[in-house]
């Protein structure tokens, strides 16, 4: 089978490639990204491309003719979307539209997995938790609005042009190698620096925020199952643990893992203009279709991430 992955050199892409090759050692994979992945398996063909380059994207997609496409590429930081809303929105919507057009114009009979975000749900009440796919999105950031637009375009191309598109609303995923722009990786790095005597305190935002965290290895397993599933085109699936965890809970676990108790200082610049305080999802729909369930405990994920950062910093 042939897989095309946009954003393949990013955090999730590297894990997805490894999972596909564990399941299908003979799979052919085309990776599209602005930068190469570095060390790569022999089964991976890399194409360095800005997905805004319409004609170049069209040629690559037509020549490779994938059976499956996973669209991971995006500006994925909510904070960045607040700082650069026009750039974030235009990039995330236009690169996806370009991909849809490449599939449509070449009449490719492939399945596209459109990766969305729990940020699409936006403002929710306690009565609406856990969040299900039937809940109407109420996005609260430029990033989230772009993800809703991506989902809506998936519906248009699915129903209007017959493309086979399955959408996810992926909740907060974590793992070794994640950029420290994201909260769990940032905290893990700060704990490692404090433990090594390289910083006197840990700078935090709002530690009362509650999210649904999931190990990236469980995430890519869900993506693979959805690619292979009998899900109907246009369907939407939460990728989540179903578990509520606050940032303060994460901090307490890191304290235990690292045997440290650093002082915490709140940085107002880390607070978002608008914030939904509690987000947790239901994975029942995904489970009923595929049998998928999270396999990796949060504590094990955090221990792996803490150890990764300690090792990583030791080489700097």
Structural tokens at position 250: 């994460």
CA–CA distance, 112 with 103 (Å, rounded to integer): 9
Query: What was the pLDDT predicted at 223?
Result: 98
* 272 and 230 in a common domain: no
Same domain? For 231 and 247 the reply is: no
CATH for 63: 3.40.50.720
Q: 47 and 110: one domain?
A: yes
Confidence of residue 269 (pLDDT cuts 50, 70, 90): confident
Over 80: is that where the pLDDT of 166 sits?
Answer: yes
Percent of the chain at pLDDT exceeding 90: 88
Containing structural domain, residue 110: 2-173+213-239
Residue 250 sits in a domain whose CATH number is: 3.90.25.10
pLDDT band at 271 (very low <50, low <70, confident <90, very high): confident
| 195-235 confidence digits (pLDDT tens) | 999 999 998 988 999 999 999 999 999 999 999 999 999 99
Task: Flag whether pLDDT at 315 surpasses 80.
Answer: no
In a domain, 65, yes or no: yes
Flag whether 287 is in a domain. no
Express as a percent the part of the chain with pLDDT over 70.
99
Query: Residue 6 and residue 33: Cα distance in Å, rounded?
Result: 6
Is residue 284, in this structure, part of any structural domain at all?
no
Could you give the number of structural domains in the chain?
A: 2
Residue 289 lies in a domain: no
Q: What's the predicted TM-score (pTM) here?
A: 0.96
- Residue 316 has a pLDDT of 59
pLDDT tens for 74-102 read 999 888 999 999 999 999 999 999 999 99
Domain assignment present for residue 77? The answer is yes
Q: Are residues 139 and 221 in the same domain?
A: yes
123: confidence class by pLDDT, cuts 50, 70, 90:
confident
Q: Is there a domain that residue 291 lies in?
A: no
Q: Residue 50's pLDDT is what?
A: 97
CA distances from 286 to 124, 240, 261, 294 (A): 21, 9, 39, 11
Q: Which two tokens stand for residue 249?
A: 């809970």
Per-residue pLDDT reduced to its tens digit, 171-184: 999 999 999 999 99
Q: Are residues 134 and 187 in the same domain?
A: no
Task: Give a yes or no: residue 301 inside a domain.
Answer: yes
| Residue 288 belongs to some domain of the structure | no
Q: Determine the pLDDT at residue 115.
A: 98
């Amino acid at each position: 089978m042939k897989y095309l992955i946009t954003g393949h050199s990013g955090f999730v892409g590297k894990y997805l490639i490894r999972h596909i090759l564990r399941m299908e050692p003979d799979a052919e994979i085309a990776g599209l990204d602005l930068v190469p992945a570095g060390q790569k398996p022999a089964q991976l063909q890399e194409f360095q491309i800005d997905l805004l380059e319409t004609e170049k994207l069209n040629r690559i997609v037509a020549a490779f003719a994938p059976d499956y496409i996973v669209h991971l590429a995006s500006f994925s930081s909510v904070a960045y979307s607040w700082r650069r809303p026009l750039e974030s929105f235009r990039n995330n919507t236009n690169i996806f539209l370009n991909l849809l057009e490449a599939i449509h114009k070449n009449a490719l009979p492939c399945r596209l997995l459109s990766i969305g975000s729990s940020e699409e749900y936006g403002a929710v009440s306690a009565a609406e938790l856990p969040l299900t796919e039937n809940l109407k999105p109420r996005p609260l950031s430029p990033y989230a609005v772009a993800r809703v637009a991506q989902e809506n375009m998936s519906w248009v191309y699915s129903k209007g042009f017959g493309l086979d598109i399955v959408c996810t609303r992926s909740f907060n995923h974590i793992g070794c190698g994640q950029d420290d722009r994201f909260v769990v990786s940032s905290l893990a790095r700060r704990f490692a620096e404090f433990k090594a005597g390289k910083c006197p305190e840990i700078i935090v935002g709002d530690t009362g925020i509650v999210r649904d965290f999931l190990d990236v290895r469980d995430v890519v397993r869900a993506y693979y199952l959805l690619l292979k599933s009998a899900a109907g085109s246009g369907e939407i699936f939460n990728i989540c643990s179903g578990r509520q965890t606050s940032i303060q809970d994460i901090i307490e676990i890191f304290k235990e893992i690292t045997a440290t108790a650093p002082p915490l200082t709140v940085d107002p610049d880390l607070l978002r203009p608008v914030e939904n305080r509690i987000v947790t999802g239901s994975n029942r729909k995904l489970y009923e279709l595929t049998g998928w369930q999270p396999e990796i405990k949060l504590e094990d994920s955090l221990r792996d991430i803490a150890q990764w950062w300690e090792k990583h910093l030791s080489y700097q």
